[in-house]
Amino acid sequence: MDPKPWRDRIREEDELLQQLNRLASEAADRRAQALLDGVDELGSIAEVARDRGVSWNAVDKAIKKYQRKKAAETGDSTTE
């Protein structure tokens, strides 16, 4: 049995990387939305960060990245 040609292997791996990147991006969006829900429930980014045991900066960055992405998709502007 002959191995697949290298070009085919590269193409397949490129497709897999694209799929994984898309899945990671979708997961990051869902996580950021959950963080926003946490902010609504707990009242602040700092409270969410304490609850999750992470820095407030990590929570803030995830939320802002998500908000910028959504604003770019809809053509809105952010307040930054």
Predicted confidence (pLDDT) per residue in 1-12, tens digit: 778 999 999 999
DSSP secondary structure, 32-45, as one string: HHHHHHHHHHHSSH
* Three-class DSSP category at 2: coil
Residue 76 binned pLDDT confidence (cut-offs 50, 70, 90) = confident
Q: What is the mean pLDDT of the chain?
A: 94
Largest distance between two CA atoms of the chain = 62
pLDDT score for 78: 54
Q: How far apart are CA 63 and CA 34, in angstroms?
A: 9
pLDDT score for 79: 56
| pLDDT score of 37 more than 90 | yes
Specify the pTM. 0.80
